Structures are given as structure tokens and as C-alpha cells.
Structure 1
Amino acid sequence: MNQRRYFNEVAPRWDSLLDEESLAKLGQIVNSLVSKPNDTILDMGSGTGALLSLLQDATGKGSRIIPLDISENMLQIARGKDFEGDINFIQADTCAIPLFDETCDLVMCYSVFPHFGDKPRALVELKRVLRPNGRLVICHTKSREEINEIHRHIGGTVAHDVLPDETEMRALLADAGLDRIEVSDEPDRYLAIARKSDGALMPDLEIARQILTQDALGFVIVKSEKVLASSREQGVRPFFDVIVNLEEALSRAAVADRVVGKAIALLSIYAGIDAVYAHLASKPAMKSLEEASIRVSAKQVVPHILNREGIDLCPFEKLMYNVSDPDEAFSSIKTFLGE
């Protein structure tokens, strides 16, 4: 049975599956993420309209909302609820959204992402309809493990419809060209959030990422589509040396690095870097960059960067453990390196 037929069949009982507790959690998620009036919001996989009233409440009914679903029966039930405001129901597949480029400020994917048959292609399409700096939100009111177990238990058409783990999710979003990626998997909710670049830095970051991979470098720094610096050597020392030598020239540059721990993250903030890509990044590094409003994406995220033996934290990760100020980080690293 294909997806469209399956969801057409379950549409009449769909609303009964959303209990009051889940609805309350969904409301909390929406209120924490949506506040701007007059946005255009794509409710991807909208089903019977569980999100619609919550989105309207959060935006004061000033937004244009586009509920889109593959199932005509789901949409028929949603239409019957007589929602007020600027709502335009669309039946379509995720991989062929009938909207112009850069139409939406926000794309909400509530309880639908596991059901995308071609996730990479779907994400590219969702990115296409987002405006520059627009957000994609993938959310559930249960943990990843619980969602996947529910689908396995149901079996049949949705048996293999799963949420990927954090590493794969980040890679999927980054490969689609999205950045500032956040993934949170808690017992009572799952959230993955990413943004579409405003366009100013994506060429530099993409150039840096491609050179990093193709030339097997340790890191590469690109600005205005030109390579400012690169090194085959990995680690903090060569990166620190570049910062000392180039100073203000690094402002608004893009960095692609194989391994980004908190030391590299804080040095990037110190240097005025605007975008960072990492093959491997630590959670403290991601947090530091995100809090500094630096666009960051990573193929894999780990709790901490370990030493070469893999039995303890990397010395620089230890050094930066309680450091959050970029100036303090630069000074501490300079002393540690004996500069």
C-alpha cells in the first residue's frame, strides 16, 4: 500500500490519536518557535489540521498558512473544521511542492518527516520554498526512539518510516544546504531546526567544504570566494597561527575544518568568522558558535573531542571546559602553546 492510500484510510480516526497531553506539548513547541505575525508558514504533512489553530494563536491570525498533505481525505477533514484567516489547502507530494521559490518564512513538519520516502530530495525541495534566513522545523511530541518503535509496531506501510539519529539528521540537513542546525531528542519531544542561508556566505562555505574534502586538508578558510588559508595539518596550533598572521582579514570569512572542538569554535568567534562547517564537532563547540550567531553545520556531533588514545578529553577541550569568552580563550591558548 502506498503512502497516499494508507493515510487516506486512517484519516477518519486520525484526530483520535492526538491526546490532550500531546496537544499541550505541541502548543508549547509552537509558542516557543513561532511568534512573528504576517509570516507565510508551510504546514508540511498537515494531516487533519492539528497545527493550524496553534499556529494561528501564536501569530495572532496574521500569517498566511499553507497546509499541504498528500492525502485528500486528511485535507477534507481539515477543511471541514472551518478555520478562519488566510489558509490555502494544497494536496501535493513533498518532492513536488507547487509553490514558487522563496515563498515561505517557516516550514513546519509535525509528525511527518519519517514518512518522507526520499528524505534528501524532500529537504532540498523544502529548502527551495524557504525564503533566505527562513526556518525548517521538524518536530514530534515523543522521543525519536518512541516514534520509531510506534511505526515498527504498526507495521505495514509505515514499518520502516523512522527518524534518523542525530548524526544522520545533521548530515541530511547540511547536505540539503541548510545551516545553523539544532537537534534535540528528549523523552517528551523531538526537534530538529535549521535555517536557509541568507545567501551572502553560502558560496564561501560551500567552496571551503568542497576544498576540505577534495584536497584532504585539515582546514580551509575562504572569503569572497578566495582561499585565505589552508593546512594539511589538523589541530588548534595551525589554526591559531593563521588567526595571528591574518588577524582582521578573517572577519566574515567561512571555515571548513575536519574537527571543531570548543577551542576552534572560540577562536573562530574571536576572529570574526561568520560560518563554520565541520566533519566532526563537539556539542560545546556547536553551542558556542550558535550562541554567537555563527552559522554552523557538522556532519557528526559528539559530546566532546577526545585525545588521540580516545580515553580522555583532548587537552584543548579540557583547557576550554569552563571558558566562554573568546578573548579569554585566545589568551589561554596562546599561553598553552608557549607563544
Structure 2
Amino acid sequence: MSKRRAFFDSIASVWDERFYHVTKEQKNLDRHCALYDIKKGHKILDIGCGTGVMFGRFKKLAGKRGRVIGIDFSSAMIKHARNKHKNDKKNFICADAHCLPFESKTFDRVICFSCFPHLSDKKKAIKEAARVLKSKGMLVISHLCSSRKIAAIHKCAGTAVAKDFLPPKTDFLLTIKDIGMQLLEFKDEKGLYLVKIRKP
């Protein structure tokens, strides 16, 4: 087991309480959802879903005709997500973002909320996201704070995630050039890191 995976397994039981239990954070998450431009009927892949923090919000936005699948490489996180969303247990899968267990052109949105720094091969993960996206589908990478703050948080969190970072705009431009995707938006500011990439 990798150190990174073991780290997230170890904090799964306290994840929600530590990061998302206060009203302010819940409101931030509600506002954050608007950034994803989710429509009724959309099929959504939530990469690094953790304990399913965003699942209910995505499900509501996608409606009855839509579907939300959450994946995480931490089996402990997936276990907690299934316990929280008992009616949707089958929608949570322990899987690796670098090798997604889905057919090509399956999803309208692939969302990486608060997980992208922890992907060991970011270029490969983006290529996999592009593969499972439908034409005109969108990959959205987001955080509730800037890349600078994330780097500081991870540096203090321990060796397993100390070097996990959010990349600069130039990295995305180089990666998507190879696979023919379009960078729609990039923001790295106080309270927000946001990347929107569209598949042709």
C-alpha cells in the first residue's frame, strides 16, 4: 500500500468532521457546485470522491435521469461514502484515477474536487478523464483555496502528502495540447483554484 493511500485510509473516519462540518464550509460547497455547470440528465464521475461530500449535491443537480459515480483509491473513504449514502452504495467504487474502469465516452462531467494534488501522474489522469468524457464533455478540477495555500497545508500535513501540489496553468496547456482538449478557464486566487477543460 502506498504511503499516500495509507494516509487517506487513516483519516477517513474524521474527514467530514475535520473539514466540512461547519455551516460556512457547507455553504461554500453549495456555491462551488455552480462552477461545474451540471445539467439534468448528466452522467458525472466524481474522482477522489472521498466520503461522498459532493455526491448528494451532484445527484440533485443531475436529477432522476442523471447518474453520479464516485471513485477513490482509498477503500476506507469508499466504505464511509457507502455508509453515508446507503441507497447509492453501488455508485461508489474503489478505483484508480490513472486507470478508470469505465468505457470511453461515458460521462458528461469528470470532476476532481479537492483531490488533484494527490494524483501521482497528473498527465496520465487527465488523459484518462478525456477518454471517458463524451464529446463536448468537461473536466473540472477545483479546490476551495489557492495552490499556494494547498501547498502550505500539505507541507504541514505529513510526509505522505507533503509534496502534493496544484499545477500552474502552463502545465495544463502542455498536457491538453497533446490530446486536443481546450482550456476554458483557469483561476488560482484566494479561496479558489479552478480549471475547466473541454473535450472537442
Q: Which has the larger radius of gyration?
A: 1
Deviation at 1:93, TM superposition (A): 0.8
SS at match of 2:112: strand
Contact kept in structure 1, 2:141 and 2:194, CA below 8 Å = yes
Matches within 5 A, 1:270-285: none
Number of matched residues? 197
**Paired residue for 2:152?**
149
Per mean C-alpha deviation after superposition, the further-off stretch among 10-19 and 127-136 is 10-19
**Paired residue for 2:36?**
33
Identity %: 36
Contact kept in structure 2, 1:56 and 1:62, CA below 8 Å = no
**Paired residue for 1:2?**
3
Deviation at 1:38, TM superposition (A): 1.3
SS at match of 1:158: coil
Matches of 1:191 and 1:7 in 2, distance apart? 23
After TM superposition, what 4+ stretches of structure 1 lie above 4 angstroms from structure 2?
A: 83-87
Question: Compared with structure 1, are the counterparts of its residues 172 and 11 closer, same or farther at alpha carbon in structure 2 (3 Å cutoff)?
Answer: same
Deviation at 1:61, TM superposition (A): 4.3
Name the aligned partner's letter for residue 9 of structure 2.
N
**Paired residue for 1:45?**
48
**Paired residue for 2:13?**
12
**Paired residue for 2:143?**
140
- Which deviations, in whole Å up to 9, do the C-alpha atoms of 1:34-53 show, x marking residues without a partner? 34111110000000001101
SS at match of 1:80: helix
Name the aligned partner's letter for residue 156 of structure 2.
H
Deviation at 1:160, TM superposition (A): 0.4
* TM-score, normalising length: structure 2: 0.91
| RMSD over equivalenced CA pairs, Å | 1.8
Matches of 2:38 and 2:89 in 1, distance apart? 16
**Paired residue for 1:195?**
198
SS at match of 1:79: helix
Mind listing any 5+ residue stretches in structure 1 that lack a counterpart? 198-339
Contact kept in structure 2, 1:30 and 1:54, CA below 8 Å = yes
**Paired residue for 2:105?**
102
* TM-score, normalising length: structure 1: 0.55
Mind listing any 5+ residue stretches in structure 2 that lack a counterpart? none
**Paired residue for 2:74?**
71
- Which deviations, in whole Å up to 9, do the C-alpha atoms of 1:159-201 show, x marking residues without a partner? 000001222233233334321431011211111000111xxxx
Matches of 1:56 and 1:122 in 2, distance apart? 23
Name the aligned partner's letter for residue 114 of structure 1.
P
Contact kept in structure 2, 1:64 and 1:87, CA below 8 Å = no
Contact kept in structure 1, 2:82 and 2:89, CA below 8 Å = no
SS at match of 1:156: coil
Larger relative contact order, structure 1 or 2 (CA cutoff 8 Å, min sep 6): 2
Matches within 5 A, 1:196-275: 196-197=199-200
- Which deviations, in whole Å up to 9, do the C-alpha atoms of 1:4-54 show, x marking residues without a partner? 222111111111222432332221121242341111100000000011011
The answer to whether residue 155 in structure 2 is matched with residue 166 in structure 1 is no
Matches of 1:31 and 1:86 in 2, distance apart? 25
